[in-house]
Amino acid sequence: MRILVTGGAGFIGSHLVEFLLSEGHSVHVVVDLSTGRAENIAAFRDHPAFSFDQADIVTWDGLWTAARTADQIYHLAAVVGVRRVLDDPIRVLATNIAGTERLLRAVAAGARRPRMMMASTSEVYGFNANASQSEADQLTYKAGNWARWSYAVSCVFSTWLGHASAAITAWCCQASSNERCAACR
């Protein structure tokens, strides 16, 4: 199976890539290395089923071809990190939302319909005083510190872009298995 992993050089992405390669899949990683690390994927560089492009999915010309040839897509690419979120919330919003939209449009433009998983974060629950979180919880963001919530909002919006895209199968990573979460059903 041909699998595209955006953001595949981060902690989660690199472990996913390792697993997918061990299962015999062909894996194409696209990452700009702004938060991921080249050393996280260095061990795979010579693997015959591994390919890598250091690129920003918002501007990379190869995204359309990569999306059209994939059987599965794991979309993990995002601007993350508290310092980045607070220092440059506009970049967080623009990159996370535009990157997801561009990927979804690339998939929709192709004849293939790859299965797609879009990563999210517990940050989407916002200010939540509950000890545990549930998909049924209200999303609450405190007024007055919009920069603090830019990452969460970009993830919520990206998830809704996935829901709105009728051309692909997208499911929320909040689900504990390949089944769709309550919001996706």
State the pTM of this model: 0.83
What's the pLDDT tens digit per position in 128-180?
Answer: 777 787 777 777 777 777 777 888 888 888 888 887 775 444 444 444 444 54
What's residue 166's pLDDT? 52
Residue 180 lies in a domain: no
How is the chain classified by DSSP, letter by letter?
-EEEEETTTSHHHHHHHHHHHHTT-EEEEEE--SSS-HHHHGGGTT-TTEEEEE--TTT-TTHHHHHHT-SEEEE------HHHHHH-HHHHHHHHHHHHHHHHHHHHHSS---EEEE---GGGGBS--SSS--TTSPPB--TT-GGGGHHHHHHHHHHHHHHH-TTSEEEETTSSSSSPPTTT-
Query: Which residues belong to the active site?
Result: 151
What is the average pLDDT score of the chain?
84
Residue 184 lies in a domain: no
Residue 89 lies in a domain: yes
Residue 44 lies in a domain: yes
What's the pLDDT tens digit per position in 150-161?
Answer: 888 888 888 888
Give how many domains the chain has, as a whole number: 1
* Domain span holding position 151: 2-172
| Residues lower than pLDDT 50 in the chain | 167-178, 180-181, 183-185
Residue 182 lies in a domain: no
Supply the CATH number for residue 35's domain: 3.40.50.720
